[in-house]
Amino acid sequence: IQKSGNDVERKVAVSSLLAEAEMMKKLDHPALPRIVDIIDRDESVCIVLDYVTGESLDRLLKRQKSFPEDQVMNWFLQLAEVLEYLHRQNPPIIYRDMKPGNIMQTPEGFLKLIDFGIAREYKYKNQTDTIALGTNGYAAPEQYGHAQTDPRSDIYSLGITIFELLTGISPGKDPYQYQYHPIRKIRPEILESTETILNRCLAFAPDQRYPDCRALIFDLRHPERTISSVRRKQKRRTAFFYL
């Protein structure tokens, strides 16, 4: 990217690229591309990353329309694990742009998360983000400037990404359409545990979502416990109501 000129968009792009590089230099995870080199000259800056072979999930989705549940749930776990790694950094790194177009599948079947252009380090004292960024439909409600994004914002974006991979329905036109069309109404064969996990990821209020990716990963690895827990809570609420 050229540094010269007064073009605001160019300056923002350079700033974003350098911020991305600084964050990624600290990271070491198989699902994240490594920075090979940073070439910073007077007139331009260039960041050299690992070359990721494969195809993005949005391109695969255009051909296949949707994917089998077992394949998507494997991806769900892989992506939750890489987000958990990012959130464990000090300070936590909030990715903020989870979507099929930013996920690459390698020829070996593993996923790589790319494009850290709007990722940010979590600032514990901030009440809201300085700049509201994200992709329409995939961004959590608070990502539009109502509150500071945190790990639960990434969990929301991951949930809507998984919803799209299972249904082939893009959230771009109607970001909250899943609330009116539960996933098992669209695909009745989907397991109840999958729907339960997605519903929690996609709660409108952050405090109703998973508190962190560790809790999400536990449910993904133990889906039968997820259903048992939900049913116990329902029974307690019913008993309280009749009391």
- Rounded to 10 degrees, the C-alpha dihedral 186/190/194/195 comes to 30
Cα Rg of the chain, angstroms = 19
The backbone torsions φ and ψ at residue 110, rounded to the nearest 5 degrees and listed phi first, read -90, 160
Three-point CA angle 216, 220, 226, nearest 5°: 85
What does DSSP say about strands 120-121 and 93-94: parallel, antiparallel, or unpaired? antiparallel
Q: Which residues on adjacent β-strands are paired with residue 47? A: 38
Q: Residue 87, CB half-sphere, CA atoms under 13 Å: how many?
A: 19
What does each C-alpha distance from 229 to 30, 197, 235 come to in angstroms? 33, 12, 10
Secondary structure (3-state) at 56: strand
User: Residue 126 — φ and ψ, nearest 5°?
Assistant: -75, 145
- By the 8 A CB rule, do 14 and 1 touch? yes
Active site residues: 97
Residue 30 neighbours by CB under 8 Å, 6+ apart:
110
